Amino acid sequence: MSFLRRWVAWSLVLVVAIALPGCSLSQFKTQTARVPQYVSSVLSEPKTFNSSQSKESPNVFSLIYEGLTKTNGLTGEIEPALAESWEFSADQLKLVFTLRPNLKWSDGIPLTTDDVVFTYNDVYLNEAIPTDTRDVLRIGKNRALPTVRKLDDRRVEFSIPEPFAPFLRTAGGLTILPAHALQALVNTPDSQGKPQFISAWGVDTDPRDIIVNGPYRLARYDTNQRVVFRRNPYYWRYQTPGQSEGNIERIIWKIVESTDTALLQFRSGGLDAVGVGPDKFSLLKREEESGNFTIYEGGPDFGTSFIFFNLNRGRRNNKPLVNPIKSQWFNNVKFRQAVAYAIDRDRMLANLYQGLGLPQNSPISVQSPYYLSPEEGLKSYNYDPNKAKQLLKSAGFTYNAQGQLLDKNNNRVRFTLMSGAGSTTGVKIGTQIKQDLSKIGIRVDFTPIAFNTLVDKLDDSLDWDCALLALTGGIEPNSGANVWSVEGGLHMFNQNPQPPSEPIQGFIVSEWEQEISDLYIEGAQELDETQRKAIYAKTQQIAQEYLPFIYLINPLALAAIRNDFEGVQFTALGSVTWNIHDIQEVRE
């Protein structure tokens, strides 16, 4: 799995796109029936083919790249990938990986430790290249980075200055990039003096020119229509005797902006898989046999869903990023707590999720051993509009004769809530939140927008009030370091943009915010598991007290998959294709 928590559209389900222009879907299926294939879809088009610059999920990289290690989608355990083995030094400060013999890139060029050293030293650890990956590699309060050196063509050594508990999972799990294709672009400046690598391999690049090491390579990208992957014949697993081999030659992602369209296309036979929203579960369950598919339950979703306010008190060109009137509301913890109490998550769970999930309270995935439950003392915000009103009044807010909430200067409390426009469930959630908050006198202007536009506002322009989003999760809390570090690339509730974004002035960090950031450093340093759990328990307690994110629902991960495939092991962690090398098409 990826060890970064990245931007995702509200729904993480696989969806189907509209038919290709110039031909019907049935014609396309006939033309491509000569090879085993798997057709699914995504809500938004790729933003880049450069993995170091990517922030969205799902993305193409899980199919076209591997790291030194990978995470088993069933067990969550670390397994060998490009590296066949690894060994720690006695003091746990050095980690040596040994690559598999005879590894090759998709163009047939040998893959060696030169590529590993290039990937880390020239890309991930290179301060001239902006990448969120660097956040999860930083160690200790000094934010030191590991050193990486080649021992020989198959052995590479990682060294760290102090203990780092997620050392293996972090160092091993990152995508390895081809030095022979990208080294020159790192060393060559563009017209602004920045490495050309930063803009390399954009979506305008011929996909066939993207050099990869994973089970598939990019074969075609038609803007706003589809991404086509073809089997990579040089992938190590396909070259290793005794390794399992699936027979899926081609994977096709159709690009759409609506989960409703996805459902229609799946039901008509145009898709091999579709994510099952809770509101569609009963319908699809009745059609399993007649539709020749099975609905798989992968357990609670690993991700988190939430709304959050723009807490940034900085300025650009002497202009506040957030309206000062609104900023005073958003930065008042009682205001955020009142909003949390005013959202009826039980109604949301019953009506929008059909009971297929649980209220969410923690930034850490339920499956993680570091998760703290409400039963263990984590604060939760059960629906209580009266308590919400009491909190607002104690914070100096009042109500007028029409029941509208006013601040101490008699400004009506009104803000805009953004979400990605592609998810039906996400739009329904935003609509309910608007209704819920109106009951405590708050006017919410709910505005679904294109996901890429949403990401730009959150990551660069910082022009927003409140947003509805989700983040992917994981087993290791430090995978969220770029969310909780005050300088992290995904510290989105109080973002301090990194170059090349325009800098801001007057960036302010709250004490609780800094405390969580420091605790994440401490948690990564601590090797004793009992102590680590206590540290991350404290981070969850602080997050729930101060509410930088107001968590909503943790749904069950559900997917409908055609019975034309054997070997499917769908899970919330790995989704459908984590073991694509085991999946066989048996379609007649």
528 with 436, same domain: the answer is yes
The pLDDT, as a whole number, for residue 422 is 73
Domain assignment of residue 577, yes or no: yes
Give yes or no for a contact between 395 and 336, defined as CB atoms under 8 angstroms apart.
no
Residue 1 counted as domain residue: no
Q: Which of 180, 199, 224 represents a domain boundary (last residue)?
A: 180
Distance (Å) of CA 168 to CA 26, 52, 68: 47, 19, 10
CATH number, domain with residue 118: 3.90.76.10
Beta bridge partners, 250, equal 37, 230
57 and 114 fall within a common domain: no
User: What are the pLDDT tens digits along the chain (588 aa)?
Assistant: 333 333 333 333 322 222 333 333 444 444 445 799 999 988 888 999 999 998 777 789 999 999 999 999 999 899 999 999 999 999 999 999 999 999 999 999 999 999 999 999 999 999 999 998 888 888 887 889 999 999 999 999 999 999 999 999 988 999 999 999 999 999 999 999 999 999 999 999 999 999 999 999 999 999 989 999 999 999 999 988 877 678 999 999 999 878 888 899 999 999 999 999 888 899 999 999 999 999 999 989 988 999 999 999 999 988 999 999 999 999 999 999 999 999 999 999 999 999 999 999 999 999 899 999 999 999 999 999 999 999 999 999 999 999 999 999 999 999 999 998 877 788 999 999 999 999 999 999 999 998 888 888 998 899 999 999 999 888 999 988 889 999 888 899 999 987 777 889 999 999 999 999 999 999 999 999 999 999 999 999 999 999 999 999 999 999 999 999 999 999 998 899 999 999 999 976
**Judgement on whether residues 542 and 577 belong to the same structural domain of the protein:** no
**pTM for this structure?**
0.78
Residue 139 domain-assigned? yes
In a domain, 104, yes or no: yes
- Tell me: do 423 and 544 sit in the same domain: yes
Q: Pairing relation of β-strands 466-471 and 414-420?
A: parallel
Q: Are strands 304-309 and 466-471 parallel, antiparallel or unpaired?
A: antiparallel
Give residue 548's domain range: 304-555
Residue 288, φ and ψ in degrees, nearest 5: -55, -55
Residue 127 inside a domain? The answer is yes
| Residues 371, 544: Cα–Cα separation, whole Å | 13
Task: Judge if 410 and 387 occupy the same domain.
Answer: yes
Cβ neighbours of 536 (radius 10 Å)? 26
Q: Which long-range contacts (CB under 8 A, 24 or more apart) does 73-77 make?
A: 73/1, 73/569, 73/571, 73/573, 73/574, 73/575, 73/578, 73/579, 74/569, 74/571, 74/573, 74/574, 76/367, 76/475, 76/573
First to last CA, the chain: 32
In the chain, count H helices and then E strands: 18, 27
Q: Which two tokens stand for residue 532?
A: 């680590």
Q: How many CB atoms lie within 10 A of CB 321?
A: 20
Q: Which amino acid is at 111?
A: L
- CATH classification of the domain holding 354: 3.10.105.10
Instruction: Say whether both 339 and 421 belong to one domain.
Output: yes
On whether both 137 and 154 belong to a single domain, the answer is yes
Rounded to an integer, what distance in angstroms lies between the CA atom of residue 166 and that of residue 18? 42
Six-digit token string for 122: 């020239």
Residue 209 within a domain? yes
Q: Is residue 107 part of a domain?
A: yes
Q: Are residues 20 and 107 in the same domain?
A: no
Identify the pLDDT of residue 20: 30
Please report which helix (H) or strand (E) contains residue 86, including its range.
strand 83-88
User: What are the b/e assignments for 238-250, b being 16+ CB within 10 Å?
Assistant: eeeeeeeebbbbb
Q: How many CB atoms lie within 10 A of CB 552?
A: 26
Shared-domain flag, residues 357 and 388: yes
The pLDDT tens digits for 73-125 are 999 899 999 999 999 999 999 999 999 999 999 999 999 999 999 999 999 99
Cβ within 8 Å of residue 64, ≥6 positions away: 210, 212, 213, 214, 215, 216, 217, 218, 229, 232
Question: Domain count of the chain?
Answer: 3
Q: Are residues 525 and 433 in the same domain?
A: yes
Residue at a domain's end among 154, 180, 206? 180
Position 5 scores a pLDDT of: 33
At residue 232, the pLDDT reads: 96
Q: What is the pLDDT of residue 351?
A: 93
Q: Does 2 reside within a domain?
A: no
Residue 40 burial by CB count (10 A; 0-12/13-18/19+): exposed, middle or buried?
Answer: buried
| E-strand stretches of 90-194 | 94-99, 147-150, 155-159
Contact present, 550 and 383 (Cβ < 8 Å): no
Query: Over the stretch 483-503, which tens digit does the pLDDT of each residue have?
Result: 999 988 889 999 998 777 788
Contact call for residues 15 and 261 (beta carbons, < 8 A): yes
Long-range contacts of 401-410 (CB under 8 A, 24+ apart): 403/441, 404/441, 404/443, 405/440, 405/441, 405/442, 407/325, 407/328, 407/329, 409/325
Do 249 and 228 touch, CB atoms closer than 8 A?
Answer: no
Task: Give the DSSP letter string of 486-502.
Answer: TT-TT-GGG--PPTTSP
Q: Are residues 110 and 51 in the same domain?
A: no
| Residue ending a domain, choose from 122, 148, 180 | 180
Nearest by Cα to 344 from 306, 381, 299, 390: 381
Cα 174 from Cα 65, distance rounded (Å)? 9
pLDDT of residue 434: 98
Half-sphere exposure of 486 (CA within 13 A, CB side): 16
Judgement on whether residues 27 and 45 belong to the same structural domain of the protein: yes
